Each structure stands twice: as C-alpha cells, then as structure tokens.
Structure 1
Amino acid sequence: MPADDRRLQPRRKPSQVRAELTRERILTAAAHVFAEHGYAAGTTNRIAERARISIGSLYQYFPNKDAILAALLIQHIDRGAWAQADRLDLSPGSLKATVRALVRDAIDHHRDDPRLLRIMIEEAPLSQELLDTIDSHQKLRVAQVRDLLARHPDVRVRDLDTAANLINFTVEINTHRLMADPHAPAVETFESELIDMVTRYLAGSE
C-alpha cells in the first residue's frame, strides 16, 4: 500500500529556473550522501551541507529524506525511456542485435551507482505519485517493445501483447537484481545469457 502521501510530497514545486536548480542540487547531493553513507546515516543535515544550502532551505523543498528518496526514484524512472527504440535496424537476421540493444539500454540505465540503486529499491516508500510513475513507465516501455515485435520479420510469437509484457518484465527485473547485487555475475555474462534467452523465445515457431 502507498505510504502517507503527505509525508512524501515536496513542499515547493519549482516554478522558476533558480528554484528548479536548487531542487536539482538537493537531489544530486542526496544521491551522493545516500551512496556514501547509506540511507540511515544519510541525514537531511548532511544533504543540506553537501548541497551547500541551509537546512531551512532544504525543508522549503522537501519535508524529510523519505520525500527526497522518493523524488530520486521518480527521477530515475522518468529517465528510463528507451530513446533509441525507433532507430533500430529491423531487417531480416537482425533480431539478436535488436534484443541486444534492448538489454544494453536497460543495463546502461542502471550502471551509474549500484549502491544508490539498492537503496532506492529497498528503502523508497511507495507513494501514489511513485506508483503512477512506475505504471506510466511500464506502459511506455511495453508499447515500445510491442511495436518492435510487430515490425520485426524474425519474430515468431503467438501473442504480441503477452510477449511484450514478458520481455519487458524479464529484462527490467533481472537488470535491477543484477546491478543492485554486489555478488552478481559479471555484467557481460548476464547480458550474453539474457540476450540469448530472449532471442530464442522470440524466434521460436508456433
């Protein structure tokens, strides 16, 4: 269930460039503080100090660090659109390359800071805004994958909607687990196996 949304709502919605820059400074500082000190020790005082603003100024934007972490996760999800999806080669024989592009895009989106990713996955409270953002992202990603499957001549699946949902979920959940797990196998090994698995599924006969 979503947490009390009032605790997670930013106190100030930036309407000017300067205010937006200050909000971005807070989020950037929080990402560094959480990654360096962990969530429990990543206090709002440390975030304000890292952002070089007063604690009072920070509280003008966010009521607590839960709200900051929720905003970071929403920002992370919003930046996860597959920008190159409409530029891929969909000629016969290119299915594996297409799948590789999908998998690599998901991996690249989670490479920046594995520790911060773990914190966001494990600690971020669920708000309605976060749930809506996740739902919107998933719908967009599934629609992109379905469009590719519908246009690629090498795809042989019984149901495009089911296939698009399965592939999106498989790639997303396994990529999250890989990048957030310090004991995970090498990225190259994971990437190769996941590409082979998805390609075989898509190329299978009815």
Structure 2
Amino acid sequence: MPSADRRLQPRRKPRQVRAELTRERILTAAAHVFAEYGYAAGTTNRIAEHARISIGSLYQYYPNKDAILGELLVRHIDRGVWTQADQLDLSAGSLETTVRALVRDAIDNHRDDPQLLRIMIEEASLSQELIDTVDRHGKKRNEQVRDLLSRHPDVRVQDLDTAAELIVFTVELNTHRLMADPRKVPVETFENELVDMVTRYLRGDQ
C-alpha cells in the first residue's frame, strides 16, 4: 500500500455551520476552476476568487490545491455507494439484469463532469483520508456484490470472494476510464459489452 502524503492533510476541520459553509464554497469553487482551467492553471488564487473569499481564508482550511483535489476525490468516492443493491429482487430478475444494475450504477455515479473526473484520476495524490476512503468503499462494494452472487441461482463461480473483488475492480476501473473521456466509446455500447462479459464469467460460459 503506498504511503500517504502528509502535505495533503486539511488544516482545519469545520466545527461550526459557518466554517462548514466556507469549506463547501471552497470545494465547489475548486471543482468549477479545475474543470474550466485545468489543474495546472487552477491555482488557489483562482479558487479563492471564485469562492469569494481571501486567499488567507482558503489557507486556513487547505495548505494547497493538492489537498483540495484530494478532498474532492474523497467525496466523489463516498457518493459512489451502491444504494439500490439491497432492493434488487433476485427471484424476479435474470443474472444479466443484476449485473446490468451494478454496471449502470457505476456509470451513473460518474456522469457529472468528465473533465473534473479526468483531473481527479490523473492528478490526485494519496492522502491518508483518500487511502482510508478507497479501502472502506472497496470493502463495502465487495460485500454487496458477494452477497448478491451468493444468493443468485445462476452464479457458477467457485470462489465468491475472489469473484466479487474481480468484478468490482473491473467495473469501476473501466467505468472511470470511459466516463473520464466518454467520446471514445458510446456509453450504451460500453454498458452492453461489460454486462455481457461479467455475466458470461459468472455463468461459467465456455
């Protein structure tokens, strides 16, 4: 596991509503600035100006723009929880339907801003919070997928734990890559091909 960069630790955790609102303004402004200007030109001065606060106020919360980008990525990952996993009726749907729900959920979690997503993937450094968030999210997603696999009658894989990890990694990695540049492949084509591949693997098709 790569070590965390201590330079990315936020300087101030909001304890009051006003401080939380200021942090929200910084993060919202940063998302707009990074998407509009790119990461190299998305300076803390531009972020502060867009947030309508002084640069000194920004530095009370974040030591640099790397820390801001890291927190944006943490929030992006935390929003990607599969909230509808427990609502799937496995008795009424085919294995393909279940896999499609997983793939479509991953796609929907990455539709918002391809430019910002690409910057987060390419530029974000590892903070301890980011490492912890990725680990927590991965475990939760793996548990959800494993639970579905264990209950679906058409699943033929031998090792459910390994299968769940492979599927989560494959779906999320490829979804990140596609949605960061959706012009490469039509989203519908990507969804259909990925659903077909995962479904065949789970059914044990030769």
What's the TM-score once normalised by structure 1's chain length?
0.95
Deviations 1:34-93 (A, max 9, x none): 000000000111111111111111111111101100111111111111000000110165
Q: Which amino acid aligns with 2:8?
A: L
Deviation of residue 130 (structure 1)? Answer: 1.1
Aligned residues: CA RMSD: 1.5
Structure-1 residue corresponding to 2:47: 47
Deviation of residue 2 (structure 1)? Answer: 3.3
CA distance in 1, matches of 2:5, 2:194: 38
Structure-2 residue corresponding to 1:65: 65
Q: Which amino acid aligns with 1:34?
A: F
How many residues are matched? 205
Identity %, equivalent residues: 80
Structure 2 unmatched runs, 5+:
none
Structure-1 residue corresponding to 2:192: 192
Conservation of the 8 A alpha-carbon contact between 1:92 and 1:154 = no
Cα distance, 1:193–1:62 mapped onto 2, change above 3 Å: same
Is 2:88 the counterpart of 1:88? Answer: yes
CA distance in 2, matches of 1:69, 1:57: 17
Deviations 1:181-203 (A, max 9, x none): 35420000000000111111112
CA distance in 2, matches of 1:181, 1:173: 13
Q: Which amino acid aligns with 1:146?
A: R
What's the TM-score once normalised by structure 2's chain length?
0.95
Structure 1 unmatched runs, 5+:
none
Structure-1 residue corresponding to 2:78: 78
Structure-1 residue corresponding to 2:119: 119
- Which moves more between the two structures, 143-152 or 123-132? 123-132
CA distance in 2, matches of 1:129, 1:23: 16
Structure-2 residue corresponding to 1:142: 142
Conservation of the 8 A alpha-carbon contact between 2:81 and 2:137 = yes
